Amino acid sequence: MNLTIENILLVGSLLLLISIIAGKTSYRFGIPTLLLFLVIGMLAGSDGIGGINFDNPQVAQFIGIVSLNFILFSGGLDTNWKSVKPVLREGIVLSTLGVLLTALSLGAFVWLITDFTLPESMLLGSIVSSTDAAAVFSILRSKSLALKTNLRPTLELESGSNDPMAYVLTLAFLTLVIHQDQSVVTLIPLFLQQMIFGGIAGFVFGFLSKIIINKIKLVYEGLYPVLVIALMFVTFSVTDFIGGNGFLAIYICAVYLGNQDLIHKKTILKMYDGLAWLMQIVLFLTLGLLVFPTRVIPYIGIGLLISVFLILVARPISVFISLMFFKMKLSRRFYISWVGLRGAVPIVFATYPLLAGIEKADMIFNIVFFISVTSVLIQGTTLSVLAKWLRVSLPQEEKPLSETDKFISDITKTAMKEITVLPDYNAVNKKIVDISFPKEAIIAMIKRKDKYLTPSGSTIIEPNDILLILSDSQEGIEKVNACLTRNMN
């Protein structure tokens, strides 16, 4: 079946609908939803019952990059800086040194057991060296898994920030495969440029994006999420244009924005949460369509061997060496090494050799696909069980709230007070978003003369406004008073 303009919307919407329904039923059986999306794509493809003829790595790569933008940005927005800060060093080491060690150890193993050259082996190792943000974010959050002592922030920080390292290594070793006369040393400047430029660009664009979002006056609230999407793509594209790593830049930009006071932040977070799920479904469906199961079957043996080595040897070695200088319980180290999920990102990276036209590109792609499937199937289905076995999980009632969950919990505030804004208050004639309003309290309503207003971050506080304040505690009410009345001069 060949897709045409006339039937692409019908086919696409049906696949989305089937994926959502299948995802809902999968919870009963403990099957990761992302794996089902992939299987549905395969069933709809050329070798499946759908017969959709899709064999275009370039289109798949484009869809993959766009989807990863949304997935990484959404994960960054939902990252609480207070939770991440204590584990920042561990996360950075895992996302850099950990990825490098995984790539090298797995590459060496592939070189020993196959007829791959050393650069080709290292290329395969690099492609599957990072944990997959889409898989980790979706599985941890869909299972509502509560983990002890900053373990979850560590895992999410690593998965959200280690794709850039894997991307640079993939490009580096792909260059060595194509240009065999080059030395590894010549690629070090590329690595430094990508990481340094990407990191700086992420902070710069995050700061500029906050100013733009809060200062621009848009007529409709629904335009603010659209504005953030534009800023996200500008961040990625400009960073890539100047030679930096766009994936690193958008993740840092999103983490910065997610921890700032933004106009219509609730709307932005909710929209990105939905878009991230949509992009995950689209990405896995697309990659499922791209795969020909009949081409994967010949590589099941070697793929299983490499996958087992990655899960049981390469990943644990990289984690234990990376964390050897940090004080951490052995159970936590084991659990971090097990949550080394490979998902869509390695498959997207595997399209680069295909487009470059190297000799073993098809073999690399099919092996990578098999590794990703086995990783999600084996590791993704056992996260909850292993967490309980290693005693690193928390009771459900102690589960920490995400940024999105915190907005939903606003309706449960227990302390309430009406505060009249006097003309000499510091907050007069300022937007709510600009007065550093306490996060544990909200302005539920504003009474202005004879009118009642539902405020947003862009609402300007006027003299004699009566604010209805809801807070978690009386201490929060006191913080609101201090925020409204303090003199900034």
Strands (E), 184-309: none
What is the rounded CA–CA span in Å between residue 296 and residue 366? 5
Task: Kindly tell me the burial class for residue 375, based on how many C-beta atoms sit within 10 Å of its own C-beta (0-12, 13-18, 19 or more).
Answer: buried
Structural tokens at position 238 = 């400009």
CA distances from 384 to 65, 141, 143, 266, 381 (A): 30, 12, 8, 30, 8
Bridge pairing between strands 466-471 and 441-448: antiparallel
- Quick check: 131 and 372 in contact, CB under 8 A? no
| Residue 2, pLDDT score | 53
Contact residues for 338 (Cβ-Cβ < 8 A; gap 6+): 311, 315, 379, 382, 383, 386
What is the rounded CA–CA span in Å between residue 288 and residue 45? 7
pTM of the predicted structure, to 2 decimals:
0.78
* pLDDT by residue, tens only, the chain of 489 residues: 555 666 667 777 777 787 777 666 555 545 566 677 777 888 887 777 777 777 788 888 898 899 889 988 988 888 888 878 888 898 889 989 999 999 999 999 999 999 899 999 999 999 999 887 766 766 666 555 667 777 878 887 888 788 888 888 998 899 889 887 777 777 788 888 888 999 999 999 999 999 999 888 887 888 889 999 999 999 999 999 998 989 889 999 999 998 888 888 888 888 888 888 888 888 888 888 888 888 888 888 999 999 999 999 999 999 999 999 888 888 889 988 998 888 778 888 999 999 988 888 999 999 998 998 888 888 877 887 888 888 887 665 445 555 445 544 444 556 778 888 888 888 888 888 788 788 778 888 888 887 888 887 778 888 888 888 888 777 888 888 888 886 544
What is the rounded CA–CA span in Å between residue 173 and residue 265? 41
**Domains, the chain:** 8-403 (1.20.1530.20), 413-485 (3.30.70.1450)
What is the rounded CA–CA span in Å between residue 40 and residue 34? 10
| Residue 408, pLDDT score | 44
